[in-house]
Structure 1
Amino acid sequence: MNWTTRLQKITATLLTASLISVVGWGASASPAQALAAPAPTPQQGCSTGDHGLLKDLQKAHQGAEAQPLAFSDVEFLSADTGRAAGNGFLIGTSDGGCHFQKIYEGQWNFRQMDFPDNVHGWALAAVNDGPANYLIRTADGGSTWTRLSNKAVTFESVEFLDSRKGFGYNRASTYYTNDGGESWSLIKTPANTRGAYFTSRNSGWAVVIVPGSGYQVMRTADGGANWKQMLKVPYASPNYGRLYANGSQVYAVLYGDYGMSQTSYSLYGSSNAGVSWTRVIAQETAGGGPAPGSGVATVKKGPASGTPGNMVLIGKTTAFLAGYQPAAEEVGVGLTKNNGRTWSNQKAVPGFEGVISFTDHNRGWLAGRDLNSSTLYVTKDAGATWTARFSFEHTGQ
């Protein structure tokens, strides 16, 4: 998540933090009523965010034909205020997870969501168990959602800078909207782009594959009219990459091959907007082969020694990366607080996939799932330890 955008979100959250309140946020409260309600006082030492909500949600998901409830995304705007979504539900908290409230329950199976403030949000979601993703929007914190088009979208992710301006991404293309998602325009990216990220309409990054040669990381400062190569990484069979940027801090996850449930990849980081780069992670595996690139890396394995997940950049120096290994049923997080000069892979939790959301250098959330459960974890020490706040148990359903 771009932390220039995240700072804007936190600022908006401070102005609207009372939208999510224990007694005032839900389908029955209008945005104006919710905003007028006082924010609850965080409770110290709370051990669970359930308080009966889990049982209530699972009532509609029982029986042989029902799909167990599972988290697919988590997003926090501050240490106290955030949301988690999954198949047919969206829950929220305003006291750091001591209490969660049901915000939405219905047909939408959330795949990914983005809230630039505490009121406006967008999500990629399927109708029940359908394969197609639609772009949906909320203007009341998530209680009600509107489908913006009857046509499915090809977006793999969306990110909004504010209530009107945002980006939609798939591996080959990047789109921009300035009317809240009502219409979209294609941003010109280099040929053979396989991953892009924009921090503003003019400033963006792209991963370009050169078949048989490797990867190039390109940068534009004029909205895609011109692109400049900032990094060249040799690799015989380039696939695709993911980019993350916040001011001068930039990271590129470059994927190698796959095999035997193993993934090879390299993580490159820059602290000076791409002028120079550090090879932070170079994970080679027996199934995936060598990692893209050459030269010494800070570490040889990423979090959970598995597939890289999403990444969160904090300020000018800190970056978190999720990782998961289905074969070992582990989900973990790795981090640097000095632009990749050192890297720590923290202790993993059970799961075969997960997504993270961090709000500062130490506090964050992880939504993970395994065969028997789906759990929200919170950390206050940069992932060194995790505490379960909310868990759906699948056994016996």
Structure 2
Amino acid sequence: MRIKTTKNTKTWKRASVITLVLTLLWGMGQAHTLPDASAAPSTATCGTGDHGLTSELKKGSGVEEQQLQFTDINFLNQTTGRAAGKGFLIGTSNAGCTWQPIYTGQWQFEQLNFPNNVTGYALAGVKGSSLTYLIRTDDGGSHWKRLSTPGVPPFKRIDFSDKNNGYGYSYNGAYRTADGGVTWSKITTPANTRAAAFTTDKLGYAVVVVPGTGYKIEKTSNGGKSWNTALQVKSGTWNGADVYANGSQVWAILYGDAGMSQQSYSLYASGDQGESWRQVFAQSTAGAGPAPGANQDGKGTGPANPGGHPGNMALIGNQTAYLSAGSPAADKVGIGRSFDAGSTWKNIDLKAQGYSSRISFPTTKIGWLVVTSENRPAVYETTDGGITWSAKISFRSEQN
């Protein structure tokens, strides 16, 4: 008996062939670019726990005998992003409903920076070494190439605006690239610079240590040709700093001493490109002593900090800022936030176990956080500006 082939049958066959080809290409190691989920709503059922990835991520990662551990997260928009760890990289294109393995191998990621869905950069180390390298991918994260940076000290933070143009910040200076990290030019910064950030080729900020006095925050409007002091902060100790800038916002984290698993630090903010500043808080501790800018009693203005050890900051527009943090002694993580460039500040306890955290906020209210934890490393999402968080993937300790 002959079966009549209908138009619908032919369409179904063509769709099946296309699906098979795409599946084979993925398995052959093609570029793991994550599709924009906003173009077509996902029909996948949201998973829980580790999404079945634990055994797969440990294969060939170099950390087979270790607990899988998240170290950073980077989202391009509300739905598409990547989470990195020691020896692995995973991605989602449906706001964390499902996750796909992208990379396993030697690289132990410290910071991710994807200016688009194909080209990405990272700071990463390798097992058994304290060195950090700058690496680049041109296939969404499946394969990575180390970039040689002769004469340039290791970066502690990178920031790329597109696949070619970016900044690299070392522990004592700033560098610029216009060819995707192949070559770097040094930007002149003040002596004793401990952190820097640029919003344009001309406009930048630097935190400077003044021995015996404390810290200065300096500003340049001509690409480092000259610098002017924007703020001075008294401190008996100076253990480094971080500075972030976006639009008219500038935020500086100034570190005091450390001890007994505690870190004293202060947070300063400017909403007008460094023209005026406010101390958001100064967190002194019994084990670490006074925070920079604290008064004679070791106290500062503003609320307590979100955690004993800062993670990173996310700045959105000219008003919104988030700071992640963790407390090793208390084994919990939290975030702090401001919607008015630091005029007001709110801390939020995630009630999640962990000793450090990092964040990525693609919009004012939608954000992502990775928690480094002995028992439950996890990725969390918020859609209400950090008030509530939901776990999207987690790895249980093998002892639990």
Classify the TM-score, shorter chain.
0.7 to 0.9
In the alignment, residue 265 of structure 1 is paired with which amino acid? Y
Q: TM-score scaled to structure 1, two decimals?
A: 0.86
Asked if structure 2 preserves the Cα contact closer than 8 Å seen for 1:61 and 1:68, the reply is: no
What is the SS of the residue equivalent to 2:287? coil
Q: SS of the counterpart of 1:56? A: helix
For residue 173 of structure 1, what is the amino acid of its counterpart?
Answer: G
Task: Report if aligned partners of 2:337, 2:345 keep a CA contact under 8 Å in 1.
Answer: yes
Q: Is the 8 A contact 1:46 1:98 kept in 2?
A: yes
**Conserved? CA contact 1:347–1:383, under 8 Å:** no
Letter in 1 for 2:41: T
- 1:174 equivalent in alignment to 2:174: yes
Select the structure of larger CA radius of gyration.
Answer: 2
Asked if 2 retains the 8 angstrom alpha-carbon contact of 1:49 and 1:98, the reply is: no
Report the CA distance between 1:131 and its aligned residue. 2.4
Q: Is the 8 A contact 1:26 1:102 kept in 2?
A: no
1:43 Cα deviation after fit: 5.4
- How many angstroms does 1:394 deviate by? 2.4
> Counterpart of 1:382 in structure 2: which amino acid?
G
Cα distance in 2 for residues equivalent to 1:147 and 1:225: 31
Q: Deviations over 1:335-384 (max 9, x none)?
A: 11122222111023210111111122221111112222311111112222
Q: TM-score, normalised by structure 2?
A: 0.86
Structure 1 residues not aligned, in runs of 5+: 1-21
Q: Distance in 2 between the 1:260 and 1:76 partners? A: 34
RMSD of the TM alignment (CA)?
Answer: 2.8
The alpha-carbon deviation at position 40 of structure 1 amounts to: 4.8
Q: Deviations over 1:158-215 (max 9, x none)?
A: 1112111111112212111111111112111000111111122222110001111111
| Structure 1 residues 70 and 206: CA distance shift in structure 2, 3 A | same
2:235 paired residue number: 235
Amino acid at match of 2:275: V
Residue in structure 2 matching 1:358, options 354, 361, 375: 361
Point out 4+ residue stretches in structure 1 off by more than 4 angstroms: 22-27, 29-40, 59-63, 150-153, 294-298
The 8 Å contact of residues 109 and 129 in structure 1, kept in 2 or not, is answered as: no
1:393 to 374, 377, 396: 396
After TM superposition, the structure 1 = structure 2 runs for residues 90-105 of structure 1, keeping only pairs within 5 Å, are 90-105=89-104
| Matched-pair contact (CA < 8 Å) for 2:34–2:92 | no
Task: Decide whether aligned partners of structure 1 residues 32 and 368 sit closer, same or farther in structure 2, where only a CA change above 3 A counts.
Answer: closer
The answer to whether the 8 A contact 2:111-2:123 is kept is yes
Could you say what secondary structure the match of 1:80 adopts?
coil
Change (3 A) 1:90 1:221: same
Shift of 1:277: 1.0
Aligned pairs (5 A) from 1:187-206: 187-206=187-206
Residue 336 of structure 1 aligns with which residue? 338
1:383 alignment partner, one of 368, 383, 386: 386
Q: Deviations over 1:223-276 (max 9, x none)?
A: 111111111111122232111111111111111111111111111111111111
The aligned counterpart of 2:154 is 154
Moved more, 323-332 or 292-301: 292-301
Decide whether aligned partners of structure 1 residues 85 and 374 sit closer, same or farther in structure 2, where only a CA change above 3 A counts.
Answer: same
1:193–1:41 distance in 2 versus 1, CA, 3 Å = same
Letter in 2 for 1:139: D
1:343–1:53: structure 2 CA closer, same or farther, 3 Å change rule?
same
Question: Structure 1: how far apart are the matches of 2:34 and 2:98?
Answer: 17
Q: Verify: 1:299 aligned to 2:302, yes or no.
A: yes
Q: Do residues 41 (structure 1) and 13 (structure 2) align?
A: no
Aligned to 1:164: 164
Structure 2 distance, partners of 1:37, 1:43, is 11
Segment drifting more, 364-373 vs 90-99: 364-373
Percent sequence identity over matched residues? 48
| Cα distance change of structure 1 residues 56 and 40 upon mapping to structure 2, 3 Å threshold | farther
Question: Residue 328 and residue 285 in structure 1: after superposition, are their counterparts in 2 closer, same or farther (change >3 A)?
Answer: same
Match of 2:7 in 1: none
